[in-house]
Chain A
Amino acid sequence: MNWFFRFMNSSVGKKIIMATTGLLLCSFLIIHLFGNLFLYGGPELFNTYVERLASIKPLIRVIEVILALIFLFHIINSLWLTLSNRKANPVKYEVNRAQDNSSFFSRYMGITGSIVFIFLAVHLSTFWYRFQIDHDGGQFYRIVTGDAVGFNNPYITGLYILAMILLGFHLRHGFQSAFQTFGLRYNKYGKLIEAIAVLFWFAIPLGFVLIPIYFGLLKGGF
């Protein structure tokens, strides 16, 4: 197991963990968005979908635990990396034209990630929490569109839109960066990776963002 700890402790190893957990979280996004699409089918369809999920609760719980661990790993690892990176670069330049040599997205992964994390906390403490225990007998659709924690609340809608845009920023760099970290970014599949990347940094966040826009701004009518 010596090799394992050496790997985990090395800078490249940590990056590989970031990339692996990041891509796993990306795959979760697909499933989550798929579920969200049921909202467009109206209250009945959506509520039924959530009920169905509830019927396989033990499995869901296991998945949730795994997911939580992945998140935790991703976050703790990033904090660890950020701290050691700060230590490696303690004195900042008087003038630094970083915009001339690197993209905004790549330089602010910590910030975009942190805001997404804040969103995640809000999201879990509202939707997820209520879905578990306080759903008024299966009125899931109403929670999502309602004015307590739902999209009828302009603050919630605003936060969701902002967070999803930042998630897009995060993935704009993160998705391709993960492949670079695996050493797979530049080869004959490079173009394919770029195309799939668009799905993750643009299409999926757009799908998420459309929900608060539709249910909050258009349909909610506040």
Chain B
Amino acid sequence: MQVFLKVWRQADAKSEGQFVTYTVENVTEDMSFFEMLDMLNNQLVLKGKEPIAFDHDCREGICGTCGLFINGRAHGPLRGITTCQLHMRSFDDGANIVVEPWRAEAFPVIKDLIVDRTAFDRIISAGGYISVNTGGVPDANTIPVPKPKADEAFDAATCIGCGACVATCKNSSAMLFVAAKVSHLALLPQGQVERKQRALNLVAAMDMEGFGACTNTGACEIECPKEISIVHIARLNREFLKASLL
């Protein structure tokens, strides 16, 4: 099959970008979306042109490095997957495919389809942890955790930090990302000690990084490759409200 790509190209953070179109031939449906881009890049290199820069690494949906906005959807048209898990069989022969980087003020473009998501690291470093040093902790089984709580905490903790929630949000809000961390730790007994301060600090850090506010459209949970629910956003709101007013 062949596909027609319209890809955002931008030399670096300071340059103006534009869309460039490419025709990719001999695409097979077993190829992943990235293997199709690999093939195109290989051809571009041999022609002496600059290949398309995009972020990717594990190619099995867990590292959170990849993230493209494909035909108007974060990580492409399917649910519950990252871009690297998207295969060409999801597209028709002759399909037009528009490929864009994540768009958000807090995620500036570095080059082509690569954006800078270090804002997420700064949010986590503002308090997305339990402050224990290595060593001197109690035996693991002295802290029982009810299984349903542990499971729910796990659901939140599966966040891979890819930024699809921000990319798809009309306000570029990072609420789902922040909520996943706050919720994960608020559900566990280990997280109780710093519970209030954590909610306050993470929301403050999120606001400082220039992410927008949540309008509760729910787009983030649809596009989240780990299908993290906005139930966790509700919990973050509650945590924040309690921490602020009580």
Contacts and interface: CB of A to CB of B under 8 A. Distances in A.
A and B touch in the complex (CB under 8 A): yes
A12 B171 CA distance: 13
Contacts of A89: 103-105, 169-172, 212
Interface residues of B, number: 51
A89 B241 CA distance: 26
Interface in A166-185: 173, 176-177, 180-185
Contacts, number: 145
A177 B215 contact: yes
Interface residues on A, range: 35 or more
A91 B238 CA distance: 31
B84 interface: no
Contacts of A91: 103
Contacts of B112: none
A7 B244 contact: yes
Contacts of A101: 73, 168, 217-219, 222-223
Given A93-B103, A100-B222, A184-B238, A107 B170 contact: yes
Contact of A186 (B104, B213, B217, B234): B234
Of listed B98, B233, B244, residue having the most chain A CB within 10 A: B244
Interface in A2-48: 3, 6-7, 9-16
Interface in A50-91: 81, 84-85, 87-91
A188 interface: no
B237 A106 contact: no
Contacts of A102: 170, 217-219, 222
B72 interface: yes
Contacts of A85: 170-173, 212-213, 215
A91 B77 CA distance: 21
Contacts of A10: 203-204, 207, 240, 244
B88 to A, nearest CB: 18
Contacts of A176: 216
Query: DSSP class of A's interface residues: helix, strand, loop or mixed?
Result: helix
Contacts of B218: 101-103, 106
Contacts of A177: 215-216
Interface string B80-95: 0000000000000000
29 contacts: A6-B244, A10-B240, A13-B240, A14-B213, A15-B214, A84-B213, A85-B170, A87-B212, A88-B211, A88-B212, A89-B105, A89-B169, A91-B103, A93-B69, A93-B103, A95-B100, A97-B73, A98-B72, A98-B219, A101-B168, A107-B217, A173-B216, A177-B216, A180-B234, A182-B237, A182-B241, A183-B235, A183-B237, A183-B239
Given A3-B244, A89-B170, A102-B222, 9 more contacts: A15-B213, A89-B212, A94-B6, A98-B168, A180-B234, A181-B237, A183-B237, A183-B238, A186-B231
Question: Which 10 pairs of residues, A with B, have the shortest CB-CB distance?
Answer: A183-B238, A97-B72, A88-B212, A85-B171, A101-B222, A11-B213, A102-B217, A106-B217, A95-B72, A89-B172
Interface of B: 6, 8, 19, 69, 71-73, 77, 98, 100, 103-106, 168-173, 200, 203-204, 206-207, 210-219, 222-223, 229-231, 233-241, 244-245
